[in-house]
Amino acid sequence: MDHLGGIVTGPRPGRMRDRRGRGPRGPMALPGPLSPRSVPAHRSPREAFHLLVSDIVEALEPHFTVEPDHVEIRFDEAPLLPPEWTDEVPLGIVVTIPEGHRVVLFRIPIAQRCGTTEELEELTWSVVLDRLAEVWHMSPDDLDPRPR
């Protein structure tokens, strides 16, 4: 109740703050008339990367139906490397499996090389295209469906 005896409803007046860099909070994330089950205000980095990879695979779907080799695309947090490893950490690898090939992307090394979401998207596209080009013996430019 406010000082006049009425019930206060709706969002607070003024601008919503992004305290401590944790993203927006408050009424936009709560249930309302347009989103009765509420809207997810935050996705974990793993969920966001999974959605990005899913969008890339969906855009490349025509190639998966045409190419004869079966390819699975998966992602993991980071590669397990031996203690004496001195080379650069790989962003993705191709593994041969009985059904065909598996492309494994490593989320943390990819994310650490990017400063913005646009850079993350571009680098993820690049890694996926490079690994698929390796499997299908094509140029990554021939696989890329994005306008140039």
Q: Where are the domains of the chain?
A: 45-81+89-143
pTM tops 0.85? no
Q: How large is the average pLDDT for residues 137-147?
A: 85
Q: Are 106 and 76 in contact (CB under 8 A)?
A: yes
In terms of pLDDT, which residue wins out, 39 or 55? 55
pLDDT at 129 over 60: yes
Sequence-distant (6+) residues with CB within 8 A of 134 are 94
pLDDT of residue 145: 83
| Domain 45-81+89-143: CATH architecture, name and number where available | 2-Layer Sandwich (3.30)
The pLDDT confidence band at residue 64, using thresholds 50, 70 and 90, is confident
**In this predicted structure, which of 39-43, 52-56, 107-111, 119-123 has the lowest mean pLDDT?**
39-43
Q: How large is the average pLDDT for residues 74-102?
A: 91
Q: How large is the average pLDDT for residues 118-124?
A: 93
pLDDT of residue 106: 94
Tokens of 37: 């089950």
Q: Interior CA angle at 55 toward 50 and 61, to 5°?
A: 120
Tokens of 54: 């899913």
pLDDT of residue 52: 92
State the burial class of residue 48 (Cβ atoms within 10 Å of its Cβ: 0-12, 13-18, 19+). Answer: middle
